[in-house]
Amino acid sequence: MADTAVYTVEGMSCGHCVNSVTEEVTGVSGVTDVKVDLESKKVTVTAEGPIDDAAVRAAIDEAGYEVAG
């Protein structure tokens, strides 16, 4: 059963931002899908098992952005 988590990401403003976040988060072990909504600043992550929250946050940070909250 897939798990899904939604993150609010600050600082994204363009298609390049979306691509950077998508690429980094897709590299997290177990992640099967990443959807980035630039307008709402939401990143929806789907994984085949439990989502490694710390790894997803680190990947967003690596892309140059910050998870709100």
Domain boundaries, the chain: 3-67
CATH architecture classification, 3-67:
2-Layer Sandwich (3.30)
What pLDDT is attached to residue 27?
97
Alpha-carbon distances of 11 from 3, 22, 36, 49, 69, rounded to whole Å: 26, 14, 13, 28, 13
What pLDDT is attached to residue 69?
76
Give me the residues of the chain with pLDDT under 50, please. Answer: none
pTM above 0.85, yes or no: yes
